Amino acid sequence: MRLFVAVNFSASVRKALAGVVSELSGVGLPVRWTPEANFHLTLRWLGSHDPPVADIVADILRESAADAEPFEAGFGAVGAFPSPRRPRVIWIAVEAGPRLRLLRDQLERRFAGEGFGRDDRSFRPHVTLGRARRGARPGEFRPFVALAADLGIERSVPVTSIDLMRSHTEPAGARYERLARASLGAALPGEGAAE
């Protein structure tokens, strides 16, 4: 199973993100756009594991969530990795306030304590909007450089839970399944079953 930990968004937030994608896709960029149902903020990619590991990860989520308080996050600029002129991934930033960073740090400490190791890369919270198609040429992204500066979402997002997600690779693209949910500041024994 390919597993990751994420903050998922309400339908209204996903719709707002889809509006940004609609603006970007309208200029004909060579990009595979993220479906509206798949928008999320990844807190930790865990990779492929056998099914019993999901129970361990769900426990880590509950412990980390119990120590965290719900908070508000906002969206920032639209950008790209590694650069807007030669993008592989197009994203919208998520403001990395102190509570989001603390939650991420708590998860990292607990994962390291359970033998998963630490993800020492710089935490750059974002929502993936799309990925460049193979063979895309840098010149094809000129419209993106101009358009990205004017795009964004002016709203805050309540973060009240974190989810253990499974990624299914399918011919049409990735499909995500929630395996467990932990509410921030309110984790109880037995909480976290998938809905």
Residue positions annotated with a catalytic role: 40, 126
Listing DSSP states for 45-81 in one string gives EEEE--THHHHHHHHHHHHHHHT---EEEEEEEEEEE
Of 44, 32, 34, nearest to 3 by C-alpha is: 44
Half-sphere exposure in the Cβ direction for 18 (13 Å, CA): 11
Q: Bridge-partner residues for 158, per DSSP?
A: 72
Sign of CA dihedral 114, 120, 123, 124: negative
